[in-house]
Amino acid sequence: MARGVAETAAGLAAVARAFHARGWLLGTSGNLSAVVERQPLRIAMSASGVDKGELRPEQVLSIDEDARVVGRNGGKPSDESLLHIRIVKERGAGAVLHTHSVWNTILSDFFAADGGIKIEGYEMLKGLQGVRTHEHAEWLPIVENSQDMTALADTIGETLNKHNDAHGFLLRRHGLYSWGDNLAQAKRHIEILEFLLETIGRTLRIREQAI
Amino acid sequence: MARGVAETAAGLAAVARAFHARGWLLGTSGNLSAVVERQPLRIAMSASGVDKGELRPEQVLSIDEDARVVGRNGGKPSDESLLHIRIVKERGAGAVLHTHSVWNTILSDFFAADGGIKIEGYEMLKGLQGVRTHEHAEWLPIVENSQDMTALADTIGETLNKHNDAHGFLLRRHGLYSWGDNLAQAKRHIEILEFLLETIGRTLRIREQAI
Amino acid sequence: MARGVAETAAGLAAVARAFHARGWLLGTSGNLSAVVERQPLRIAMSASGVDKGELRPEQVLSIDEDARVVGRNGGKPSDESLLHIRIVKERGAGAVLHTHSVWNTILSDFFAADGGIKIEGYEMLKGLQGVRTHEHAEWLPIVENSQDMTALADTIGETLNKHNDAHGFLLRRHGLYSWGDNLAQAKRHIEILEFLLETIGRTLRIREQAI
Amino acid sequence: MARGVAETAAGLAAVARAFHARGWLLGTSGNLSAVVERQPLRIAMSASGVDKGELRPEQVLSIDEDARVVGRNGGKPSDESLLHIRIVKERGAGAVLHTHSVWNTILSDFFAADGGIKIEGYEMLKGLQGVRTHEHAEWLPIVENSQDMTALADTIGETLNKHNDAHGFLLRRHGLYSWGDNLAQAKRHIEILEFLLETIGRTLRIREQAI
């Protein structure tokens, strides 16, 4: 198992470096995880408060289903570990990624009253697992932000159940969560959703002016 | 021939990495191809669904004029192979590149009712093959998006015939296609058209406000 | 002590390179410092007028509490050394970073009449040292720009005293200052504040149009 | 002399790569030069139509005061060599850089009727050679674009004479020229002017909306 975490850590570090370069994990924000073992559940996860542009192997922790650290690495698990674990359980995800981008922050607030953002008619949507046409309508739910992680995990569990087809969700004025069967798929989903959010954000401004 | 694909793959990977860094190929979107042999037609092309930021040689396929895989590499050809093949035949192109950028997505929708975008009066236009002055007017056609690739290839064939001088075209809410005699020229054309689309998109907003 | 500066220089160079890549230190603008020794005060600081994208160890000076160069390196200390020293003294900072970004320049002017910017309700705020919830309200003071560094240092001293909880401040049409107990924390604070300023700047434009 | 060009080529290539990464030299646009010898005049200059992201030493030509190639390298000199030579003569510049950015393209058009852009009150201006305070007012002239390089060189000569203090100028819908005593200073001037143009362009949009 320790070997599994070490191997996974390199993959998480590569994604972290790439997303930090794009400005999606600035200021030690965001976090990344990947399932190493299902029975018992063991998740490799970036420790709290580390610079994602230079995530080192020893900054990747192994946690169990209660977000307790297992094994040698001594960092502190992120408060948001409970959200990662919940997503792994609800969706059977193999990897969960959470980014703080300027555009996801802005749109998570702008559309908060609607409870989510409908994204429809873009070819880019076809990159989301199971989507076969640009005519797909993706609903990206927005959940109110909170510091009570137990309550927030429950709200997210309900949201995931209510929106069975959602490939991600936004926390208001906080960030984006997405996931996948494995790390590559989770990375792909984040890139697609970030792209679409930027596209929608920039379109808003042109549309309004053109009217 | 196998050697040709292997050599070409390195060139395609370098362009893929550069464009992915600019955010033009996020989420495994877009695709890249280059002609390896004309008789019979053999095209080296990125496989479907691969991360363009880290395209590996074995993820570059050799396809024939019917988009069937030739040779060892076992990946799946992109559905859009038919579009690449059509462009190669209609234009005699040596390389075809397809990008998904935020700006090309937005403008392909914003100007859809006009059927295209007239780009005129920019020095940058001189970088397009055969253009000698900034007074050139480039018409960038916009084609409605579709998942029926056979029909779409036909529509694109007609569009290319109708607009003989066009250096590229947009698929609505989907992306940009451009090409060149070789990979370097195709790369140059994409960079120029992406630059001009961003310039036009940002100008739209300033102009409207200044009125 | 000389060894301390040399070791610190590598850390400052890495941060300088990263921030220059993001466009926050263009044209030799901005400066970076870290405390090497407290008694007597010795600060390692980037020399004036050097390219931050390629800061070399010999371009990092050791200065004393009066901003005089100590030791071998012969570059010229920045005029703004006095501001760094003042921040080190007032806040007990271990590192001080100063960036010139497009967004901090714009907002430092746009909100100048208010004397500062209130940043409230963003999860990203939790990355600032001592902040425990997104409900925190951060006041980022704006100080009028000046070329009289002695007077400016005094104004900044007063500003820091008046706003004891502030994690940074803006100089109008000039740039952002932030700091931390050590270089990693100062880097984190800059990334967070730059992120939030960009978010606020882009939100301004969408909000106005949506009304 | 040949050795001088070879040494200079590495410096030009490093600047070209950095500016291409920022999107200021896309599609083989722009060009870079540095004086190697004054008597007789010998200038190392990027050849026409080469990818600035991967400028190789053999793509840097040595040209004389009539823009004829001297020595071995066989590429074609840029049509704009005459402009570089004129700037070298009028200003005694040691290096001349020319960029095509989205923001310089937009503002060169937006302010064309004014004949230039007044840039005033920014700390960033202090990085321009000879400027001592942010209260400096820089006039950045805008010259109408043309394909007649001899005539354009004369117009630029007149513009430089009329605006003796200008550190650069814009060609309308074309790009920015700046220069310096040496390559490092020219690079610094370009970074500063590009930063200020982006700042002004983004401010335009916020200001209009806030009114």
**pLDDT tens for each residue of D21-56:** 999 999 999 999 999 999 999 999 999 999 999 999
Mean pLDDT computed over C26-55: 96
Q: Please determine, for the modelled complex, whether the ipTM score is greater than 0.90.
A: yes
Residues of C in contact with A100 (CB under 8 A): 123-124, 195
Q: List, for residues C55-106, the tens digit of each pLDDT value.
A: 998 899 999 999 999 987 678 999 999 999 999 999 999 999 999 999 999 9
Q: The tokens of B171 are what?
A: 């698929």
- Owner of token pair 């922050």: A105
Q: List, for residues C171-187, the tens digit of each pLDDT value.
A: 999 999 999 999 999 99
Put simply, the answer to whether C106 touches D203 (Cβ < 8 Å) is yes
Q: List, for residues B165-179, the tens digit of each pLDDT value.
A: 999 999 999 999 999
Q: List, for residues D89-112, the tens digit of each pLDDT value.
A: 999 999 999 999 999 999 999 999
Put simply, the answer to whether D109 touches B134 (Cβ < 8 Å) is no
Residue D4 — very low, low, confident or very high, per pLDDT cuts 50/70/90?
Answer: confident
User: What's the Cα-to-Cα distance from D126 to each of D15, D188, D191, rounded to whole Å?
Assistant: 22, 11, 13
Whether B36 shows a pLDDT value over 50: the answer reads yes
* Cβ proximity of B86 and B39 under 8 Å: no
Burial-class residue B54 by CB neighbours within 10 Å (0-12, 13-18, 19+).
Answer: middle
Which residue ranges in chain A fall short of pLDDT 70?
A: 1-3, 73, 206-211
Put simply, the answer to whether D210 touches C204 (Cβ < 8 Å) is yes
Mean pLDDT computed over B70-86: 89
| A67 vs A65: CA distance, rounded Å | 6
Put simply, the answer to whether D28 touches B122 (Cβ < 8 Å) is no
Residue of D nearest to C207 (CA): D209
Which of A22, A123, A202 lies at the smallest CB-CB distance from B173?
Answer: A123
Q: What is the CA radius of gyration of chain C?
A: 17
Number of neighbouring beta carbons within 10 Å of residue A31 = 29
Mean pLDDT computed over B59-75: 89
Which of C23, C102, C173 lies at the smallest CB-CB distance from D123?
Answer: C173
Q: Whole-angstrom distance between the N-terminal and C-terminal Cα of chain B?
A: 58
| B181 vs B138: CA distance, rounded Å | 19
Which of A27, A53, A147 lies at the smallest CB-CB distance from C127?
Answer: A27
As a whole number, the mean pLDDT across chain B is: 94
* Cβ proximity of C51 and C95 under 8 Å: no
What pLDDT does D149 receive? 96
Mean pLDDT computed over B88-95: 98
Residue B1 — very low, low, confident or very high, per pLDDT cuts 50/70/90?
Answer: very low
Decide the pairing of beta strands A95-99 and D95-99.
Answer: unpaired
Alpha helices in chain A (DSSP H): 2-21, 81-91, 102-110, 149-162, 183-210
Residue A39 Cα, gap to closest chain C Cα (Å):
33
